[in-house]
Structure 1
Amino acid sequence: MASATNTLRAGLPDRYLTPEDIAEMFGLPSVETVYAWRKKRTGPPAFRVGKHLRFDPAAVRAWVEQQTAAEHAA
């Protein structure tokens, strides 16, 4: 169980997320889907730290909310 110091609101970790974290969060078959989203610019925004891809939990939440709002508007 995560403590309050290790998570942000809504249970997101208080650290940058990895592609593996994103794949697990969204129940994706592999991290390759996360990389494909990045290449197509369709997934949550990410940035590079050296050669590693990272996701800001707040940006992921905002992306999910944007996708949800767009789905409800359609």
Structure 2
Amino acid sequence: MKMITGILQQDSGMIKLNNKEMTKMKKAVGYLPQYPTFYEWMRVKESLIFMGQLFEIPDKTLQQRIKELLHTVGLENNE
């Protein structure tokens, strides 16, 4: 699962889903761990950036979405 989500890079070979390379399928695949995964050493914003980068969200779009999300949940001052 870590390779499929992009957390770990494979050493060789390729991952396929329905005969398509995962690099092309990333946006169509969701990942929900059985137990919540929080990295205690990351701040809220750092964690959101990390997850956004896994899904290759462009930096400008990612920053805007994070800003909106933090505002929505009242954490804009706790980055």
More helix per residue? 1
TM over 0.5: no
